Amino acid sequence: MATSIHTLLNKLAGQTSSSYEVQDQSSMKMNAERRIHRRCEIEESSILVERFEANTIGKGRPLGHLVNLSAGGLCIRTAENNLKIGTQIRIRMVLPSYAGIMPFVAQDGTCRGTNEWAGWMTIVRVTKVNGATEIGGRMVDMREIDRGMLGLSLSAQPLAA
């Protein structure tokens, strides 16, 4: 006979199932955290992000510098002021390796590390800051292996003060 985990926890805690669920739900509401991935402040590194247009071959044009980055999204400070929420743009960034960990995996099937990623970003936030524009967005077409390696690479870096 299978016993649910809630029943076992309730027996250990000496609670009824309804009081356990109420306690669990109330603690979730008070400690809700929206951020899924750890954010790393990297503005001081002056990492350039390039924007690729449909008619661009080879290298893109500079979009701005990274302010912060996580495995799920990024914030870029740019001089462009015509970007709107919901817009999808194709970007390219080159990140340095840290502690021997490359932030991405090459797409050629060799499973070797690489420090370059190009893909689509959906803009979810546009803010004016000191004459510049900060755009926040999600990297929407990043492969899960790249997301995992980026998370590992960022977790190895020291926390910002």
The domain locations on the chain are: 1-32, 40-156
Average pLDDT over all residues of the chain: 77
Q: How many CB atoms lie within 10 A of CB 93?
A: 22
Q: What whole-number percentage of the chain has pLDDT above 70?
A: 68
Long-range contacts of the stretch 101-107 (C-beta < 8 A, 24+): 101/149, 101/152, 101/153, 101/156, 102/149, 102/153, 103/149, 103/150, 103/153, 103/154, 104/146, 104/149, 104/150, 105/143, 105/145, 105/146, 105/149, 107/143
Residue 5 has pLDDT above 50, yes or no: yes
Choice between 45 and 141, residue whose per-residue pLDDT is larger: 141
Domain 40-156, second-level architecture: Beta Barrel (2.40)
Report angle CA 59, 157, 161 to the nearest 5 degrees: 110
- Kindly tell me if the per-residue pLDDT of 80 is higher than 80: yes
Q: What is the pLDDT of residue 23?
A: 42
